[in-house]
Structure 1
Amino acid sequence: MGYGLGVFLTALGLILALAVQDVIDAIDLTLIGWILALAGVLVLVLTAVQTNARRQHTTTATTTHSDGSQTTEQRTTERQDPPPAV
């Protein structure tokens, strides 16, 4: 999945929903178009969420001391991408 698939599904769905006037027996092209457009938007949102989630990394470390007590340390780091080349 990616941005390309989401854009493709959205465009195809909107074309079917808004621009196609043909009628096929037992098939509602407008409904199929809206379903494809919704699926395309969903793919775009999921791709954006997954891309953003990969930018963060959380590490948890638990240390047990000699007296039996435990210390838990959690670190969250965010990946910094280099600026685009000019």
Structure 2
Amino acid sequence: MGVGGSIGLIAVGAILTFAVNWHLAGVNVTLVGLIMMAVGIIGLAAYISIFRKRRVVEAMPVMDERARHYPHV
């Protein structure tokens, strides 16, 4: 799940929790919205965590052409 999916889940969950007045038999719409928001937040945190790990690049030492032939330079 990417950033868009996570933000979409958070948005739909917030709409179900705070803006909808539906009453369905056997379904607590507020609880469904809260669960969707929680899943969206967890997905966003996981994506950011993985993305941050991917962005870390270790710099490879650059060896000058002169340093290969003349190690004292």
Report the TM-score, using the length of structure 2 for normalisation.
Answer: 0.76
Structure with more helix by fraction: 2
Query: What 5-or-longer segments of structure 1 have no aligned partner?
Result: 58-76, 79-86
RMSD: 1.2
Greater C-alpha Rg: 2
Count of matched residue positions in the alignment of Structure 1 and Structure 2? 59
Structure with more strand by fraction: 1
Task: State the match for 2:35 in structure 1.
Answer: 35
Query: What 5-or-longer segments of structure 2 have no aligned partner?
Result: 60-73
Report the TM-score, using the length of structure 1 for normalisation.
Answer: 0.65
Give distance in 1, aligned partners of 2:37 and 2:14: 6
Identity %: 31
- More contact order relative to length (CA 8 Å, sep ≥ 6): 2
Q: Which consecutive aligned stretches of 4+ in structure 1 deviate over 2 angstroms post-superposition?
A: none
